[in-house]
Structure 1
Amino acid sequence: MAETLREVFGEAAVAARVAELGREISAHYAAVGAADGDVVMVGVLKGALPFMADLLRALDFCPTLDFVRVASYGAGTSPGALKFLMDLETDIAGRHVLVVEDIVDTGRSLAYLLGMLQERSPASLKVCSLLDKAYRRVVDVAVDFVGFEAPPVFLVGYGMDVGERLRRLRGVYELVQ
């Protein structure tokens, strides 16, 4: 199936912003006195994987890595039922947790995830998302570190997909329907 794509954030812009986020996040955790191992970086699969890998390389410290999987889109382009598919393996009690998302849209899945993580008594809980669609929020959630404000279009690439396709793209694109 041939999709029509329009570049929104090119590869160079994404790489530059990820490097900036790495500096911001490193400075934040240095300011709170967090050392290697005090921070658990939690990637929300599957979409956050490329962003998380690049962000990890941009940090000045070495966090513990773990993953969760929360799905809300399925094969389409509209949010559907929320499903929690995979839990953490790491004990986060007393540790700083940085949740890494590809995109925050309505906030429903992120709010659910943050509530679940907060019950595990982390020292702190922060969110970093490559893209933020704050104008679409139906649940009030804060994103502490934002790569880009996202336009009101369906986005693919750099981990984001439609029906498991287009994740491999190095930039972020609008899927023109």
Structure 2
Amino acid sequence: MIITLHDKSFEPYIKEVAIQNRINAIAEQISDDYKGKTPVFISMLNGAFWFTADLLKNYDGNCEVSFVKFKSYHGTESTGTVTQSVGIDVDLSGRDIIILEDIVDTGKTLSVFLDELFKHTPASVKIASLLLKPNALKYPIKVDYTGFEIPNDFIVGYGLDYDGLGRNYKDIYVVK
């Protein structure tokens, strides 16, 4: 099914069943890695809310969750500027942190957030991202748990949007 959002058409790219299978595998790995610990999951809004919900439903252990919100895109392009509108609201000192991202492309947003996060002296920080664009990465970001590595194409669905539209689709779509 082709979908149209604003002035662009998108075609199916990753089906919901494949997404759920990868998220289940990531949740299992994180559950094993953090057995006996109580990590704090920090979800990067708005895009990671679906990934966060599905991952936490499958996480086997105690945990806390918090949300932060950054914006760096306008349309299909990064603005080059990262603005924060929701910040850290829990004590992270000495805690194990797992950042949940929908997609890591250039890495700029995460780079800005990590600088802020390390001021809170966490015990450890790991990154889990549903999607990673290794060819777009411009900052030294290490993603510890990756759902899918994808080319540098513009995608929507499963929480990702194009100027506010498309987050609600269960599958991921790529621009035609």
Which range, TM-score by smaller chain? over 0.9
- Provide the C-alpha distance between the structure 2 equivalents of 1:8 and 1:120, rounded to a whole number of angstroms: 38
Identity of aligned residues (%): 34
- TM-score with structure 1 length normalisation? 0.92
- Provide the C-alpha distance between the structure 1 equivalents of 2:65 and 2:171, rounded to a whole number of angstroms: 24
Taking only aligned residues, the RMSD between alpha carbons, in angstroms, comes to 1.2
The match for 2:114 is: 114
The match for 1:78 is: 77
The match for 1:19 is: 24
1:148 aligns with 2:153: no
1:2 aligns with 2:4: yes
- Provide the C-alpha distance between the structure 1 equivalents of 2:127 and 2:28, rounded to a whole number of angstroms: 15
SS at match of 2:13: strand
Correspondences of 1:1-177 after superposition (within 5 Å): 2-3=4-5, 4-30=9-35, 33-34=36-37, 38-74=38-74, 76-80=75-79, 81-176=81-176
1:91-140: CA deviation from partner (whole Å, max 9, x where unpaired): 11111000000000001110111111111011100000000011111111
Deviates more, 1:41-50 or 1:135-144: 135-144
Deviates more, 1:121-130 or 1:1-10: 1-10
CA contact (8 A) 2:95 2:124 kept: yes
Shift of 1:152: 2.1
- Provide the C-alpha distance between the structure 2 equivalents of 1:5 and 1:79, rounded to a whole number of angstroms: 19
- Provide the C-alpha distance between the structure 2 equivalents of 1:98 and 1:171, rounded to a whole number of angstroms: 24
Shift of 1:171: 1.3
SS at match of 1:99: strand
Shift of 1:6: 1.5
- Provide the C-alpha distance between the structure 2 equivalents of 1:68 and 1:57, rounded to a whole number of angstroms: 20
Aligned length in residues: 170
- Provide the C-alpha distance between the structure 2 equivalents of 1:129 and 1:120, rounded to a whole number of angstroms: 22
SS at match of 2:53: helix
Shift of 1:7: 1.4
Structure 1: give runs of 5+ residues left out of the alignment: none
1:141-176: CA deviation from partner (whole Å, max 9, x where unpaired): 100000000122101000000011000111111022
Instruction: Letter of the 1:25 partner, please give it.
Output: I
Shift of 1:83: 0.7
